Structure 1
């Protein structure tokens, strides 16, 4: 085996060992420094410093909250995809780049237009409880 090929294999081996150490290292360090005794308050969820009362299953949220959250995530992803497009826009020539940009923005805006057409943004009326 030529010496240059052996050197290439050594590079791959060291990068592989380094990657495994970087992946496993934090787990080992966390296991070494974590406390060994578990208190009752350690298992409680953090509620802004207040004592916990009630049960989480007592609260029911309407599906609209989840739909708004999903639409927010879709819109945030749209905005995140526009950053690379804006940085690479100067590399494209004239009208072709503008047309491609408008098609890209239109396809991304469909993630907001579709729920709007389906009526997701209409907030349900609250029933009065007496």
Structure 2
């Protein structure tokens, strides 16, 4: 196999990429302080000394809201390419496809509302 300047450039870029990715990892390993125990093992709580148990149980509602937000956030990301390609499109087909997509999102919102996902349970103590 004959090496050309293109092969040399590819290998040089590969080596530079590995150096840029691995360099900070090696530097952090070599330059990081070697302390353990004491206050370094405790969780950081905004400068305050933590009290009580570090692991608390959270309700499932936090996870449900996070998943719903993530799903609708990703769905909105699909609308950006549509918005950029819409001026170059021909006919009513893309508009009806956009309405169908937004309609399915609206039906999902209604479904979640009917299931009671958006109602936050209140605890009165």
Answering whether residue 90 of structure 2 is matched by residue 93 of structure 1, we say yes
TM alignment of 1:1-130, pairs within 5 A: 6-38=4-36, 40-57=38-55, 59-109=56-106, 112-124=109-121, 126=123
Report the alpha carbon displacement of residue 39 of structure 1 after superposing the two structures with TM: 5.2
Larger relative contact order (CA 8 Å, sep ≥ 6):
1
CA distance in 2, matches of 1:44, 1:112: 42
Aligned residue pairs: how many? Answer: 125
What SS class does the counterpart of residue 102 from structure 1 fall into?
A: helix
CA deviations 1:51-87 (Å, max 9, x no partner) are 1100123x32221222112112222222333233323
Name the CA distance, whole Å, in 1 between partners of 2:121 and 2:62.
11
5+ unaligned residues in a row in structure 1: which ranges?
none
Shift of 1:101: 2.1
* TM-score normalised by length of structure 2: 0.75
Runs of 4+ with deviation above 6 angstroms:
none
Counterpart Cα distance in 2 of 1:113 and 1:14: 55
Distance verdict in 2 for CA 1:78–1:34, change over 3 Å: same
Q: RMSD of the TM alignment (CA)?
A: 2.7
